[in-house]
Amino acid sequence: MFLKKVFFASASILMLALAYHLGAQSATAQGTQTIAGFSGSGSHCSGVFYVMTSNGDVYGSAMAGGPCGTGQSVPDYIGNFWGVTTRAATQSFGSLKVKYR
């Protein structure tokens, strides 16, 4: 009887170690960006929720009526928080010296 308990305990530890070894190697997230900010308006069951990723992309999702957890919409891309970059004129030190002589 005691040997049977030891066998089952050993087998369960072996199965856990095997599952961790196989699962830990292949577990990845669906997205590649990190969430930098989250905001919402309304209650926890209805309202609009916004997420900003680390590169500045903003997504919005509306929770529409019904019991909590139903009526979720697919997040829509709203835009980039940082906007469009402005190109600066390239100026060398030599051209700066000539300009102010």
46-101 tens-digit pLDDT: 678 888 888 888 888 877 655 565 556 678 888 888 876 666 677 778 887 888 87
Domain that holds residue 74: 34-81
Asked whether residue 3 is assigned to any structural domain, the reply reads no
Asked whether residue 58 is assigned to any structural domain, the reply reads yes
| pLDDT score, position 15 | 86
The answer to whether 71 and 64 have CB atoms below 8 angstroms apart is: yes
Radius of gyration in angstroms for the set of CA atoms belonging to the chain, rounded to a whole number: 28
| pLDDT score, position 23 | 66
Asked whether residue 73 is assigned to any structural domain, the reply reads yes
Instruction: Give me the number of domains the chain comprises.
Output: 1
| pLDDT score, position 51 | 86
| pLDDT score, position 97 | 81
| Residue 18 pLDDT class (50, 70, 90 cuts) | confident
SS (H, E, C) the chain: CHHHHHHHHHHHHHHHHHHHHHHHHHCCCCCCCCEEEEEEEECCCCEEEEEEECCCEEEEEEECCCCCCCCECCCEEEEECCCCCCCCCCCCHHHHHHHCC
pTM of the model: 0.44
| pLDDT score, position 14 | 87
